[in-house]
């Protein structure tokens, strides 16, 4: 079928209009007086600092709104959308990878080769006893953070969603080794969470999951993969900067080139 120039332009205008509407709604939500502030607590990333978030609950959001919220430094956990608003710190900044420019490092290429025998399946999030048990084993092996691994927590955090979410299963010979949850927006994919079998830690499945998400972006023709917050000086967040080039959202909500940005 031959595409007429007028049709193409009209499609772009419609997409631009939808994006503008989504951005306007996101700004309205971010400025809402209904945002609830959490109690101040010890920061889990930087020692000696305190943390607090502002948040709202939404049972459903139109496509594009969540990406606009991420561009305002919000993240999703279940049906809760939150943004750090700490009294003396602004180090939690959203990081995203421009998919077309991404170049895997030598170690990332080795990880991809090491996991070529893995069977990967993508579907809508669906709770199961098998996944919950894996989630519990993963949390038990980490011994950090406030999560308990209770079934209610697992369902609310990883299965309930207000946007279009996908679940990525990683199996070897039928055995479930890892599960990733991602959110799909019209122009972005957002990595929500990944948990895996501690006995398979030598496979670097966390790295493989991000490489898989980048492959999904290419298949969906999506421009950016959002990896959540990068916290400068926090060792547990340093891995995100290894996906290069990347962009970091500054305090003015503008995307700036991160380290090793390839022209």
More confident residue, 39 or 106: 106
Kindly state the greatest CA–CA separation across the chain. 62
Q: How confident is the model at residue 217 (pLDDT cuts 50, 70, 90)?
A: very high
With b meaning 16 or more CB within 10 Å and e meaning fewer, what string describes 70-84?
A: bbbbbbbebbbbbbb
Percent of the chain with pLDDT over 90: 78
Check pLDDT > 60 for residue 3: no
User: Residue 12 corresponds to which tokens in the numbers above?
Assistant: 């772009």
Of 59, 230, 84, nearest in space to 156 by CA: 59
More confident residue, 146 or 254: 254
Domains with residue ranges and CATH for the chain: 1-263 (3.40.630.30)
Of 203, 9, 1, 178, nearest in space to 116 by CA: 203
Check pLDDT > 50 for residue 262: no
Average pLDDT, the chain: 90
**Distance between alpha carbon 75 and the CA centroid of its chain, in Å?**
8
User: Residue 93 corresponds to which tokens in the numbers above?
Assistant: 């900044």
Check pLDDT > 90 for residue 224: yes
Q: Residue 30 has what pLDDT?
A: 83
* Burial zone of 6 (CB within 10 Å; 0-12 exposed, 13-18 middle, 19+ buried): exposed
Q: How confident is the model at residue 4 (pLDDT cuts 50, 70, 90)?
A: very low
Q: How confident is the model at residue 12 (pLDDT cuts 50, 70, 90)?
A: low
Q: Residue 36 has what pLDDT?
A: 83
Q: How confident is the model at residue 259 (pLDDT cuts 50, 70, 90)?
A: low
Q: Residue 14 has what pLDDT?
A: 53
Q: How confident is the model at residue 216 (pLDDT cuts 50, 70, 90)?
A: very high
Check pLDDT > 50 for residue 7: no
More confident residue, 262 or 54: 54
Q: How confident is the model at residue 83 (pLDDT cuts 50, 70, 90)?
A: very high
Check pLDDT > 80 for residue 227: yes
Question: Hey, which residues does 191 pair with through a beta bridge?
Answer: 182
SS3 content of the chain, % helix, strand, coil (to 5): 35, 30, 35
Q: Residue 5 has what pLDDT?
A: 38
Q: What is the pLDDT of residues 17-65, one digit of tens each?
A: 788 888 888 888 888 757 888 989 999 899 999 999 999 999 999 999 9
**Backbone φ, ψ for residue 249 (5° rounding):** -80, 125
Q: Residue 144 has what pLDDT?
A: 66
Stretch 83-90: mean pLDDT = 93
Q: How confident is the model at residue 155 (pLDDT cuts 50, 70, 90)?
A: very high
**Residue written as token pair 């790295």:** 207
What angle in degrees, to the nearest 10, is found between the helix axes of 106-114 and 205-220? Answer: 90
Q: What is the pLDDT of residues 67-79, one digit of tens each?
A: 999 999 999 999 9
Check pLDDT > 90 for residue 169: yes
DSSP H helical segments within 31-116, as ranges? 65-70, 106-114
């Amino acid at each position: 079928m031959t595409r007429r120039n007028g049709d193409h332009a009209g499609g772009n205008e419609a997409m631009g209009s939808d994006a503008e509407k989504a951005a306007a709604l996101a700004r309205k939500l971010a400025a809402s007086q209904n945002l609830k502030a959490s109690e101040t607590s010890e920061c889990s990333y930087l020692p000696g600092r305190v943390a607090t978030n502002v948040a709202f609950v939404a049972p459903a959001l139109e496509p594009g709104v969540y990406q606009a919220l991420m561009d305002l430094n919000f993240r999703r956990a279940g049906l809760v959308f939150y943004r750090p608003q700490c009294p003396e710190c602004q180090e939690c900044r959203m990081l995203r990878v421009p998919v077309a420019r991404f170049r895997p490092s030598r170690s990332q290429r080795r990880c991809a080769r090491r996991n070529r025998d893995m069977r990967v399946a993508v579907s809508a999030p669906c709770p199961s006893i098998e996944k919950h048990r894996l989630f519990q084993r993963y949390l038990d092996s980490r011994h950090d953070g406030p999560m308990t691994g209770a079934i209610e927590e697992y369902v609310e955090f990883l299965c309930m969603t207000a946007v279009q979410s996908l679940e990525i299963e990683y199996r070897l010979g039928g055995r479930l080794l890892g599960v990733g949850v991602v959110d799909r927006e019209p122009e972005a994919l957002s990595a929500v969470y990944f948990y895996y079998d501690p006995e398979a830690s030598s496979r670097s499945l966390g790295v493989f999951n991000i490489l898989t998400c980048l492959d999904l972006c290419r298949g969906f023709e999506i421009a950016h993969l959002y990896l959540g917050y990068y916290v400068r000086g926090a060792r547990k967040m340093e891995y995100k900067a290894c996906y290069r080039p990347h962009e970091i959202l500054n305090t003015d909500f503008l995307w700036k080139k991160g380290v090793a940005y390839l022209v």
